[in-house]
Structure formats: C-alpha cells, structure tokens
Structure 1
Amino acid sequence: MSGLLDGKRVVVTGAARGLGFQFAQDLAAQGACIVMCDILADELAHGAQRLAAEGYNVEHYRIDLACADSIASVFSAIGERGRIDGLVNNAALATGVGGKDMMEYDPQLWDRVMQINVKGTWLVTRAAVPCLNDGGSIVNVASDTALWGAPRLLAYVASKGAVIAMTRSMARELGKRRIRVNAIAPGLTRVEATEYVPAERHQLYENGRALAGAQHPQDVSGSVAWLLSNLSEFITGQLLPVNGGFIFN
C-alpha cells in the first residue's frame, strides 16, 4: 500500500519523545525515511531503535539547538547522506517555562526560551535549506497559546508568535525554489512536556474545544503529513490550528 510520503526523506527535530516521536512514527508509516534529531541522546537512540524494529527507514542525530556549530555539523552529516524533502521544526523548550506572570518572569529564562524556540528554529531552517530539494516542505510547530494569549506563559507565547511570523517570511524567501513553509498550532496536548501543566489548564482546554476532550499526539500528526505531502503543494505561509476547535482561525 502506498503512503502519502513514499520516497521522501524528512527531518524531525525534537523527535525523541512526545509530539516529535509521534510525528516520526506516523510519517514513517506514510512511507518517509525519517531523520530523527534531538538533544536527548539516549531517548533518541531508543526511539530510533523502536522504529527500525518496526521496519521503518530511520536515521538519528543528537543536536543542540542552542549551539550553531552543533546544528551545522548535524546538517552537514545529513547532507552527506543525501538530499531531504521535508523538515519539521518541532524542537522547543516548553517544560518549566510557565507559572509566573510577566512581572515575575526571570530574564534568563526568557533568553533561554527565545534562544531555543526562535533562534534555534531559524538556525535549523538555515542549515537545512542547502540540502532541501526544490519543491520541498517545511512545517514549523507553533502553538495555539500564541492565538489566544495564554497567561503566565509569556516567553513561550512570545516565542511561538515569533515562529508564526517567521513562517510567513520564510515562505516568501523560499518560494522561488517552490519550497513551502507552513506552521501548525497544536492545542495543549497530553505529552511528557505538559505533565507539569496544572489540571485546571488541561480542563480549560478539554471543556472548551468544539470537539471536547483531551488532545493526543496522534491527533496532530496527520496535519503534518498532509503539509509535507504533494497534496498541499500550493499552500505556503499559512497557519493551521490543530486544537479540536478551542481556537478558530
């Protein structure tokens, strides 16, 4: 049976666990060769072994989004093994970045969130573009917190708003090569990174969705596969909320 992504080679950052691992698994099931990248070396290797044991074509590389040299080195190695057709900018700092209002926020934490979530997304994209095939696709993972202005989460909200804005500018710049750049904005998803989120925030989402209930990683991965596929080949610079109707765009 053919898949949406047969013959494509796709890089997924933050692929060791959570949304990133689900993306890697589901994109592989659609026929893609998956290049998994994460700073969590042991979990990354374990995840890659799991997918390989299921018969999928997988590569993996440890990467540090806070280090430009690490990013450049990883994509040099990826490029040596061949061209890529897609990139999912999923890696981000999310755990432990909320809970305080804007008056209490630690400036050092603010800088760290911006370094990983904003600068890191730019540096990864910059490193990936030279080995990305014309007509390829980039999917940036934003957040619907940037659409409704979630309180007590200012740095994260600001960083994901920046990712949305960068998506549009990147789409303009890369359009000449028919490279598409789009963003998705998931809602609060039940993954390791959101275990620290207070129960009342989870309840706010789960009760407020048009499709009421919890959101799980597999609820998001189909939209990523579609944006990477040829079915969306005339769509670029767009933001797709994937949140069960908590926010309409």
Structure 2
Amino acid sequence: MDLHLKDKNIVITGAAGAIGRELAQRLLDEGANLVLHELDESSLESIAAEAQATGRTVLTVGGDVRLPETQRAIAAAGAQLGGVNGFAPAAGIYVAHPFAEMTTEQWRTTISINLDAVATLTSTLLPHIRDNASLVYFASIAGERGSRNHAHYAATKGAIVSFMRTIAIELGGRGIRANAVAPGIIESPMTNDLVAASDGELERATPLGRLGRPGEVADAVTYLLSQRSSFISGAQIDVNGGLYMAG
C-alpha cells in the first residue's frame, strides 16, 4: 500500500528509543525525509548512516528536548528541509514513584519532559508546519486507567490527549490533523522492570495474551502520519492488545 509519504518531511523526537527507531526505519522505507532528535545525538549515527544508502535526507539534533535551544534547533532542521509534514514526539520517561513518596522534583521532571516539552516544541515548530500536515502524539493506557506508582506519568498521558484534541480543533482549518496512539505494555528497556515485577500478570491481563512490540506501535503511527488516514483527526488509537478493556 502506498502511504504517500515519499518526500514528506517528518520530525521525530526520542528517535533512538525502541519505538522511535522503528518509526524512523518505516518512514525511511516509505521515502520520507527525517529530522531525528535524541538526548545523545551520537545514538542516532546508525540510523543516519542507513539513511544515506537510501538517498533520503536525515538531519539529527541532540540535546535536552525541554530546552528552548534544542527546540529551536529541531525547528531549524525542519525549516532546512523545506517545512514539516509530520511530527511524532516520542521522547518521554517512565519512572516508578509511589505517589505518597513522590517528591516535587520527581513530579515536575516527568511533567516537564512528557507534557511541557511536547507542547512547547509543537509551538516552536508551528511556523514551519505545512498545511495538511499530520501530528501524532503518544498517549498511553495509563492516561485512561491510571497506573500504580506512575501518577505523574498517567497525568501527562491523559493531558496529552486533551492537548491533541484541542490542536486538532484549532489547526483543522489548515487541514492539519492531530491524533494520538495509546500503547499498552510494549517490549522495551522502558518497561523491562515493570514486566519483570509482574511475573506474567500483564500478559495474562491482555486479551491477546502477550506484550506489544515497538514495530506494532510504529505501524500505527506511520498510518496516522500518512494520507491514508486523511479524515482521521482528534482520535486516540489504542495499540495495546485490548488491555484497555481488561478489568
């Protein structure tokens, strides 16, 4: 299926993470040009090297995504490509802290990375976002159901959906679409400790009986970035094997 992503310019943050890396590869396979961000820019070297063989343009940006100078560098890279057709802010953290023991600093760190940086980077990119672009945000099953020991994370993911829907309303007149994917428990370094502690409970609670794979989330994001989803906006797509239904 042609997803009509050839020569489209897509910005991905957290691009060296499990989902971000899979997403970058899929978009390269579809012929897109990329701006890839990661805290440690050197972690993007292998992706950039692979892209050179495809003839696609890949620009990389390193730095703390919360910082204005990092956000300006990401926006400048998007402008260098000629404007932004798609945006997928995958950068985020998932750290366990029981709420009764959570410090103000722990709360603010998660909020600043998972929510504040997403909003401010969207604003910084906005002058370079083309009409009919697609913005795909990362929600979570935690934003729907809550998550033990992750009150800060769950709060950011619930807020991301409200933010995304407001953006969809405000920018829809330009043909810009905004949607979100809500992963469940995905096999990745971010969830290793959680999965180990659950002793199989998470798999048993999931109707499909297994954990998700990063590529399955990347597939959903790629679809939402593409023109194949041209009349979908303000939607949250659950990519969690039915876990959101589990009691």
Q: RMSD in angstroms over aligned alpha carbons?
A: 1.9
Which residue, 97, 101, 104 being the options, matches 1:107?
A: 104
1:127 and 1:199, CA in 2 relative to 1: closer, same or farther beyond 3 A? same
Q: Residue 109 of structure 1: CA displacement? A: 0.9
Deviations 1:117-155 (A, max 9, x none): 111000111122211110010000111111121111111
TM-score by length of 1: 0.92
Q: CA deviation at 1:3?
A: 4.6
Confirm or deny: 8 A CA contact 1:188 1:202 kept in the other structure: no
* Letter of the 2:115 counterpart: V
Q: Give the SS at the match of 1:7.
A: coil
Residue 146 of structure 2 corresponds to residue 149 of structure 1: yes
Distance change in 2, residues 1:139/1:239 (3 Å): same
The yes-or-no answer on 1:235 pairing with 2:232 is: yes
Shift of 1:31: 2.0
* 1:87-98 correspondence runs (5 A): 87-94=87-94, 97-98=95-96
How do 1:38-53 residues align onto structure 2 when only pairs under 5 Å count? Answer: 38-53=38-53
The yes-or-no answer on 1:60 pairing with 2:60 is: yes
Residue 220 of structure 1: how far off its partner (Å): 1.0
Find the residue that maps to 1:103 and give its secondary structure: helix
Check if 1:178 corresponds to 2:175: yes
Cα distance in structure 2, aligned partners of 1:178 and 1:205: 39
Aligned-pair CA distance for 1:165: 1.1
Stretches of structure 2 lacking an aligned partner (at least 5 in a row): none
Secondary structure, counterpart of 2:243 in structure 1: coil
Task: State the AA in 2 paired with 1:86.
Answer: G
SS of match in other structure, 1:21: helix
Aligned to 2:5: 5
Residue 202 of structure 1 and its aligned partner are, at CA, apart by 6.9
SS state at 2:66 partner: coil
SS state of the match for residue 91, structure 2?
Answer: coil
Assess if the C-alpha contact under 8 Å between 1:17 and 1:47 holds in 2: no
Match of 1:160 among 157, 160, 171: 157
Q: What CA distance in whole angstroms lies between the structure 2 residues aligned with 1:2 and 1:185? A: 24
Look up the equivalent residue of 2:192 and give its one-letter code: E
Of 79-88 and 181-190, the range deviating more from structure 2: 79-88
Which residue in the other structure is 1:127 paired with? 124
Aligned amino acid, residue 17 of structure 1: G
**1:136 matched residue in structure 2:** 133
In structure 2, relative to structure 1, the CA distance for the partners of 1:57 and 1:211 (3 Å cut) is farther
State the partner residue of 1:26. 26
The Cα of 1:245 is off from its aligned counterpart by: 0.9
CA distance in 2: counterparts of 1:129 and 1:241, whole angstroms: 26
State the secondary structure of the residue aligned to 2:137.
strand
Distance, in Å, in 2 between the alignment partners of 1:63 and 1:8 is 24
CA distance, structure 2, for counterparts of residue 202 and residue 240 of structure 1 = 27
Matched letter for residue 8 of structure 1: K
Question: Secondary structure of 2:152's match?
Answer: helix
Match of 2:85 in 1: 85
Q: What is the CA deviation profile of residues 91-131 of structure 1, one whole-angstrom value per residue up to 9, with x for unaligned ones?
A: 1122xx21x32111121011011111111000111122211
Provide structure 1 residue ranges, at least 5 long, that are not aligned to the other structure. Answer: none
Amino acid at match of 1:131: H
Q: Secondary structure at the match of 2:194?
A: coil
Q: 1:69 and 1:43 mapped to 2: Cα distance? A: 19
Query: Would the aligned equivalents of 1:4 and 1:226 in 2 still touch at CA under 8 Å?
Result: no
Q: Using the TM superposition, give the Cα deviation of residue 17 of structure 1 relative to its aligned residue in structure 2, in angstroms.
A: 2.5
Q: Which residue of 1 aligns with 2:207?
A: 210
C-alpha distance 174-3 of structure 1, shift in aligned 2 (>3 A): closer
Q: What is the deviation of 1:215?
A: 1.1
* Post-superposition offset of 1:80: 2.8
